[in-house]
Amino acid sequence: MLEVLSQIGELVGGLGALIALIYLARQIQQSNVIVRAQSRQTLLDTASAGDWDLARDTDLLEAFGAALDRWPDISDEQRTKFTLGMTRYLANIQNGLQLHEAGLVDAALVRQMGNNMAMCALTPGGARWWAAAERIIHPDVYAYVERLRAESKEEGLGGLLDEVLPFWIRMGRDAVSSWD
């Protein structure tokens, strides 16, 4: 009788351990889903904050427009604002690449951010800035954006950026006209 009770106890203990392992696996799975969602949201929030800064600050918007049109022939203040803004975007891309490598964000999100940078680097002034900016850009980010830039050259700007970039450039030209 004692032997049967011992075997039943082992069976119950084994089932308890199995249930605990299943529960822990489920908790880890849920935790991973939450971490992926938080990583994606943080990356989106950071990128969006930069976009909103640009939308709310006329001087910054004019600096971007002027730089994308005729870099480096703009004021020192505009060069500084543009470079700081672009390095912020580049840092977001670097974060996105690292999060993607860790499996926390999808490639499409990182590509969306990279495409924005590639499109800016295809404008007349943006291309001149980009050529000189390699020294301040992480090599992985530079290579990634260069690849997207090459693809974009083949495909053309396309979509929303066909409207946005000319608007930014026009803003820069309007700012210069208002100085005259």
Two tokens at 97?
């690449």
Q: Residue 44 pLDDT > 70, yes or no?
A: yes
**pLDDT of 140:** 92
**pLDDT of 180:** 46
**Cα(16)–Cα(22) distance, integer angstroms:** 10
CB burial readout 102-133, b (16+ within 10 A) else e: eebbeeebbbebbbbbbbbbbbebbebbbeeb
Count of all residues that appear for the chain in the document:
180
Query: In which band, very low, low, confident or very high, does the pLDDT at 132 lie, cut at 50, 70 and 90?
Result: confident
**How many CA atoms within 13 Å lie on the side-chain side of 125?**
24
**pLDDT of 89:** 87
Q: Taking residues 104-111, report their average pLDDT.
A: 90
**pLDDT of 1:** 79
**pLDDT of 46:** 86
Q: Nearest Cα to 44, choosing from 112, 98, 102? A: 112
**pLDDT of 73:** 93
CA angle 28, 30, 34 (to 5 degrees): 115
Question: How far, in whole angstroms, is CA 3 from its chain's centroid?
Answer: 63
- Three-class DSSP category at 56: helix
Within the chain, strands assigned E span none
Q: Taking residues 150-156, report their average pLDDT.
A: 71
**pLDDT of 55:** 79
**pLDDT of 51:** 81
Q: Taking residues 83-96, report their average pLDDT.
A: 90
Query: In which band, very low, low, confident or very high, does the pLDDT at 168 lie, cut at 50, 70 and 90?
Result: low
The model's pLDDT over 4-14, given as tens digits with 9 standing for 90+, comes to: 888 888 999 99
Two tokens at 21?
């392992």
Q: The pTM is what? A: 0.73
**pLDDT of 119:** 79
More confident position, 48 or 158: 48
**What is the residue-averaged pLDDT of the chain?**
84
**Cα(146)–Cα(140) distance, integer angstroms:** 10
